[in-house]
Chain A
């Protein structure tokens, strides 16, 4: 039962990783990466590594997503002549 769950989680993670690569919208892509981290933290928890799961959930799904979003907000497609 646990094995099946782990395999399903792994497949879902692969799907979100591919989504993060191929989505055209950058914000959607970052969100997909965040969801990937969330599933990874569940996987760590099932695999008896609660320490790593906590770090992954707080940093991977929380802070990193936000930092990427802020970076996207600060950058532009075209170079700004004033900078």
Chain B
């Protein structure tokens, strides 16, 4: 009884908070000041055709670095948890492998290279078209997922994956510090360390394509190793 009254009081409180907000809601027609300056300066100063990328990689570059770090920590945590289990697991493994169906195998053989190229396209063209490092990396990870589906004994090469992951992570931070060295004190992760190039071509927008390629490789390999660790050596 008391519980019910308590929850009713909470619901009433939420209603009094949210009803005025809903009643006074109106769609914003013009951009707030920060967004306006981003939109105006983004393509002109940074040479990126895709304004979202310009914001994510340069204006909010430190946030992106933080996101990459969070993803790295998450992947490391999963690796630690699941690896430990795999080493301690002395029980005999039941092997009940059943080959994937012919339709799945053929479909994945056809699709996997195409999806891989699509993922690479997404992060290479991050500064020109929608998408970027995170999206491309996720698409690449789905290719690894498809390979796992088609062949249950498929193994990824941990040495190469680990190398790509750490190499791209370190290079990302180095590019960030290059901005400090070459451009002055408040230019961490500045993309103008490289020439901006011709607006709208693939080799433009300074360091943005390089940064997004590194982010794409890092996210792709990280998500792929998360999948691999979670899959383990199961039946």
- Other A-B pairs, 7, CB within 8 Å; known A55-B135, A63-B138, A66-B227: A54-B131, A54-B135, A55-B134, A58-B139, A59-B138, A62-B145, A63-B227
Cα(A80)–Cα(B132), bound, Å: 43
Classify the interface of chain B: helix, strand, loop or mixed. helix
Residue of B with least CB distance to A45 = B130
B residues with CB within 8 A of A: 52, 91, 122, 130-132, 134-135, 138-139, 141-142, 145, 223, 226-227, 230-232, 234
Contact among B130, B132, B223 with A63 in the assembled complex (CB-CB below 8 Å): B223
Contact among B91, B139, B234 with A82 in the assembled complex (CB-CB below 8 Å): B91
- Count of chain A residues with Cβ under 8 Å from any Cβ of B? 15
Cα(A63)–Cα(B135), bound, Å: 12
Whether A55 contacts B138 by the Cβ 8 Å rule is: yes
Q: Tell me whether A58 and B142 are in contact in the complex, defined as CB-CB below 8 angstroms, given that A51-B135, A63-B223, A82-B91 are known contacts.
A: yes
A65-82 toward B: CB 8 Å interface, digit per residue (1/0)?
011001101100000001
Chain A to chain B contacts (Cβ below 8 Å), 13 pairs: A50-B131, A51-B132, A54-B130, A54-B138, A54-B139, A58-B138, A58-B139, A58-B142, A62-B145, A63-B138, A63-B145, A67-B230, A70-B227
A residues with CB within 8 A of B: 50-51, 54-55, 58-59, 62-63, 66-67, 70-71, 73-74, 82
